[in-house]
Structure 1
Amino acid sequence: MAFENGTANMPSAARKTWFSLTFLVVRCFGAFFDDISVLPQDCYDFVVIGGGTAGLVVANRLSENPKVSVLVIEAGASNKDVLDIKVPFYSTRVSSRTLYDWNYTTVPQAQLNGRSIDYTRGHVLGGCSSTNFMIYTRGSSEDYDRIAEVTRDQGWSWHNLQPFILRNEIVTPPADHHNTQGQYTPAVHGHSGVNSNSLPGFATPMDERIMRSTQEHPKEFPFNEDYNSGFQLGIGWGMATILNGERSSSATSYLAPKYAARPNLHVVLNSRVTRVLASSKTSSRSSITSDYSTRGRTSKLVSIDTVEVATAADGPRKFITARKEIVLSAGSIGSPQILMNSGIGDFDALTKLGVESILNNPSVGQNLSDHPVVGNTWFVNETETWEKLVRNDTFAEEALQLWRTKRQGPLVNTVTTQLGWLRIPDNSGAFKEHPDDPAAGPNTAHYEFVFANGMRGKLPTEGNFVTISTVVASPASRGSVQLRSGDPFDDPLIDPNFYGSKFDMTVMKEAIYAARHFTAAKAWEGYILKPYFSATKEAEIEDMIRDTTRTISHPVGTAAMSAKSADYGVVDPDLRVKGIQSGLRVIDGSVFPYIPAGHTQAPVYIIAERGSQLMKDAWGL
């Protein structure tokens, strides 16, 4: 059933003429639409599902060719003029339990004492790039070389991805314009790309102490001038997607006004894709698609060319057709959910929920990988920490006015100014539980330090703090995303299965010990007063981990790439959905077969840049 509009009673031919004339008008300016009911046409060359980190890259690159039409369908609202999105330091205000988040929670986590935890995902134009903490890390070169090996496609190797990395990135000066020599290596970065990143634009009291600690313990905690070079091990200055003291997201960069004005690009907001549907071109002949575990069931060769969209669970559906391809860029939760609601997934599980199966692929929604994080906090002998912004209203208002007028001051930074990438010892007991190292190679981190000039979460009434959050960067655990019901508007069942592997628990404990050793350096004498958490015995530390672990919000893998000949996985190396004859790709973080040892924003941009080029090459654009 289509939405009602003023053309409902027109004869078919007149209605088509009206749509065509309307499109000619909006094509002159490009167009944004508040919801799907007012979209002036129902057919495009390409339909991109999700206006997030990856989706807007794809839309930008495809619409570079004026001969094709591109539609982006975004479930959330506009990012425009939202202060909490624009101000880097305010990023914690939009990342959970807000209008701009999907507000998911996980299923109870067995290894977290049965806790369900918030699972943040951006629900706004720009997706997670509009709500994340903006940290720019690529991971190690080994992360990408492993993907190339597993998929048997050398296009995914570190070396061959360099043009796409540089195509995405433009390094810009920090907000305070300080001398950045020795804080990063310009030669390994892009300087003419689309999305901006920069070094911290406001100094904090911990900066010098962190650098001095690397000098005191160069073997355990080496300084790395640029962990984005492909060799990531060590501690270095953090880059973030910030331009002139303001967040740089896919919405502000890839959908900047000069791109949004393209007459062949439409963006519709507040509209949720519920399913993708089979094409009338679908083959009528039957076959056994044994590569995807149909277990002898007969199925048709399916092509996909239609998107079903709604604005409410009980509202009408509108159908949009793609002449060439549909691109799923709804993220590691949304993309597998849409696939399964469309009948692409495990036959038995879908049948139990009353979802008609069109392709039996048990890999859909499996292989969820994420980075668990624990905050390790100390009281410090310092007043210039985050706590001043929370407790002193006058200072907070002055900081906001300084940001508004000059884009300077403490609000120009994200939550961290330095990061560390480190490995557990080769003789660690973790390898007794998991002899196959889950890291991509010997130069890839097992865990990460995220340094913060204050405390995250519920703040005590007194005290100032420094935090080193420890993150399992190369987890062995795998979880899943499954449908809760046959209703596309029901939140899916999200299970990251944190510490499902004992290896990850051992890594987290060793990371916490390492953070404590790091803060014992002479550089911290007279600054650190005492730990906030008193746990010292191994059992107590493990209890603390189970009680305080949260996600750092890097889910990947739920529509994973595999080799074309593999009998597992969801997409081929060209990102086409396996077992679908034509018309459907997935381009977002869900296609990573392994989680990169890094914050996943930059890797998703990289995936999207190469995925867009694969599409352009396939269609001769």
Structure 2
Amino acid sequence: MAAVDLEKPFDYVIVGGGTAGLVVANRLSEDSDVRVLVIEAGGDRTADPLVLCPGLVAGLYGKDEYDWNFTSPPQPSLNNRQIRQPRGKMLGGSSALNFLMLLYPSNANIDAWAALGNDGWDFDSLAPYFRKFATVHAPPQSAKDMVGITYHDETLAQGDGPIQVSFSEGYTVNNKAWMETFAQQGLSVTTDVRTGKALGAFQNQATIDPATKTRSYAASGYLTPEVRQRPNLVVLTETLVTKILFDTSSTEPVATGVEVLLSTKKTQTILANQEVILSAGTLQSPQLLELSGIGNPTLLSQHSIPCLVPNPGVGENVQDHPIVCQSFQVLPDTPSGDVLRDPALLQSLVGLYTSSAGAGPLGQSVISVAYSPLVDSSGILSPSAKSAIFAPHEESLKSSPAQSHVRKLLESSQDEAAFQYLLFPTQISIPAAPKAMTDYILPVLPDNYLTIMTILNHPFSRGSVHITSSDPTQKPLWDPKYNSHELDLELLARGVQFVERLVAPETPLGKLLEQKLDGKAAEAGKSRLPEIVATDLDKAKEIVRQRQISVFHVAGSCAMLPRGKGGVVDSRLRVYGVKALRVVDASVIPLEPLGNIQSVVYALAERAADLIKEDRNGR
């Protein structure tokens, strides 16, 4: 990179070159009169085959050059296990190391954002931005033949956005059986999930470029060679922002720039004429606010940081989708990704991928999905059964507007997905103290497995993330406080009970699995992980305690809410109590969206860019 004059002020300084930050950088720098700087703590890995090849994602986790690799304190509700949380540490952020799944939220889910006090953040207002970020490719005939996809609405596949979205061609009898099994439970998707109204099993799209079979993510889509050539856009990598700078001479402090630690270990001040835009992610945007004096005064004083703006909401309201991973041994002729434990086979497939334009399974994503209402061992719950679950928590839920909205979504809505189920092609292991995400996904058992994952889409529990030091090089402490609201465990256990219906011997999916001859043999657990079967609610709860981890959708730590309700930013994403400072990333999400959240982050960032442009132009 050519030498950059960092002494000359920029119009916008964007802290974080991740999923949201690069969207904003691209859109703001479309105006040649606006000078934009992106500062990324990680490196530029846009040519790295581990990032680009979908099937090599396991090679990214736990390595300093790719992954911040957060870990939680022991979680009391999970048998005191620690949980790992990978976060992207490179251009593209977590879009560079996720599992490439693209899903969409529901109408009611997003409408709840607006109902919490955020005008203009309803589903209809955000819908154009879901189209803007993506180019959606039609499913190939092979995919239609194997898994149907009759619900894919070509009239919705509009837009020519930077992110390439496609279906794969490697779906197998496993995916087909998944669709058929849910259909037997009355859960067949009949409408395109992008409409915001869908329940049932479906084949999700993935952020894979179908022409190259490579990962399509924020860095490849929004920071193309053409965009990088813009003279008004500067991207600074391997540079750590240590704090935000303010002019405190007026009544309300004004953000004027940032202090950074360059790769040379030199400290540098960089000024912003218009705004500082914080896009460091759910776990690190609140860290920078606290290091800069915005946060809970008690916490700041503990670390000798002068309090500029007292706001105890900073770093609170953290939400994450809990996911319970149950692995089932497959019959000898059932496909399983566990065969890739063989180094020779893996090397052969890498050779095929590199020599044949992305051919073979390493260029595909074959995870299948289902959206489900509240269910248990009996199937879909009746309205009275749902009410009976929530009734004991009536008073506690009334005290929180957000939790009241969650209850309404789950109890009253007829088409809201309480659970998301995933069919994952390999075994999942759950060590008590994993070193990285890799410890979960690399096969450790000699037999071959599939994993059914149960995700609670709308958790009631709230965690936190806060600094533990005034040293900006020290990671903040993320404590998800999983199942701290007892309803989460109650609901997850029922979702796990439903899995028993999916794997029963008579279902299409069950016919692909090793089955036991009697209940006693089943309790021995020879064909599944863990060695417990959800024959009742208590056993299902123990499976949650043993097998729940994170599905890596952390959000909410700088929530977009009224200030008096714990908000950190307003509905234009401006930080309360200061001027010229915004937050644009998943941390502003006030209520966790259902499904994998990358589509929501892209759409949010696209809309944020428009808001910033409007404010600059006085509209």
TM-score interval, normalised by the smaller of the two chains: 0.7 to 0.9
Distance 1:413 1:225, change over 3 A: farther
Aligned pair partner of 1:323 in 273, 296, 300: 273
Q: Does the 8 Å contact 1:389/1:395 carry over to 2?
A: yes
Distance 1:204 1:183, change over 3 A: farther
Corresponding residue of 1:28: none
Is 2:391 the counterpart of 1:432? yes
Distance 1:266 1:479, change over 3 A: same
Q: Does the 8 Å contact 1:44/1:70 carry over to 2?
A: yes
Corresponding residue of 1:9: none
State the AA in 1 paired with 2:512: Y
Q: Does the 8 Å contact 2:129/2:607 carry over to 1?
A: yes
Give how far 1:477 is off.
Answer: 0.1
Does 203-212 or 469-478 show the bigger shift? Answer: 203-212
Aligned pair partner of 2:135 in 152, 170, 181: 170
State the AA in 1 paired with 2:567: G
Number of residue pairs the alignment of both structures matches: 563
Is 2:341 the counterpart of 1:344? no
Deviation digits for residues 449-488 of structure 1, max 9, x if unmatched? 0111221335244322121111111000001111111111
Which whole-Å CA distance do the structure 2 matches of 1:525 and 1:253 have between them?
Answer: 40
Which whole-Å CA distance do the structure 2 matches of 1:53 and 1:175 have between them?
Answer: 28
Q: Does the 8 Å contact 1:84/1:91 carry over to 2?
A: yes
Aligned pair partner of 2:585 in 579, 584, 588: 588
Q: How does 1:149-298 map to 2 (within 5 A)?
A: 149-153=115-119, 155-173=120-138, 178-179=143-144, 182=150, 184-218=152-186, 221-244=187-210, 245-279=213-247, 282-284=248-250
Distance 1:529 1:61, change over 3 A: same
Corresponding residue of 1:528: 513
Q: How does 1:351-430 map to 2 (within 5 A)?
A: 351-381=301-331, 382-391=333-342, 393-404=343-354, 405-414=356-365, 416-424=367-375, 425=381, 426=383, 427-428=385-386, 430=389
Which whole-Å CA distance do the structure 1 matches of 2:593 and 2:198 have between them?
Answer: 11
State the AA in 2 paired with 1:116: Q
Q: What TM-score do you get using the length of structure 2 for normalisation?
A: 0.86
Which whole-Å CA distance do the structure 2 matches of 1:389 and 1:108 have between them?
Answer: 32
Does 52-61 or 205-214 show the bigger shift? Answer: 205-214
Distance 1:620 1:120, change over 3 A: same
Which whole-Å CA distance do the structure 1 matches of 2:466 and 2:183 have between them?
Answer: 48
Which whole-Å CA distance do the structure 1 matches of 2:341 and 2:113 have between them?
Answer: 43
Corresponding residue of 2:459: 475
State the AA in 2 paired with 1:418: V
Which whole-Å CA distance do the structure 2 matches of 1:326 and 1:190 have between them?
Answer: 33
Distance 1:181 1:493, change over 3 A: closer
Corresponding residue of 1:82: 48
Corresponding residue of 1:133: 99
Unmatched runs of 5 consecutive residues or more in structure 1: 1-30, 285-299
Q: Does the 8 Å contact 1:32/1:269 carry over to 2?
A: no
C-alpha root-mean-square deviation of aligned residues, in Å? 2.2
Corresponding residue of 1:578: 576
Between the aligned residues of both structures, percent identity stands at: 31
Corresponding residue of 2:597: 600
Which whole-Å CA distance do the structure 1 matches of 2:23 and 2:407 have between them?
Answer: 28
Which whole-Å CA distance do the structure 1 matches of 2:408 and 2:26 have between them?
Answer: 31
Aligned pair partner of 1:91 in 52, 57, 60: 57
Corresponding residue of 1:512: 496
Which whole-Å CA distance do the structure 1 matches of 2:18 and 2:553 have between them?
Answer: 14
Give how far 1:522 is off.
Answer: 2.8
Q: Does the 8 Å contact 2:183/2:200 carry over to 1?
A: no
Give how far 1:178 is off.
Answer: 4.8
Give how far 1:189 is off.
Answer: 3.5
Does 246-255 or 140-149 show the bigger shift? Answer: 140-149
Distance 1:140 1:80, change over 3 A: same
Deviation digits for residues 349-383 of structure 1, max 9, x if unmatched? 10111111100011100000001111111111135
Corresponding residue of 1:612: 609
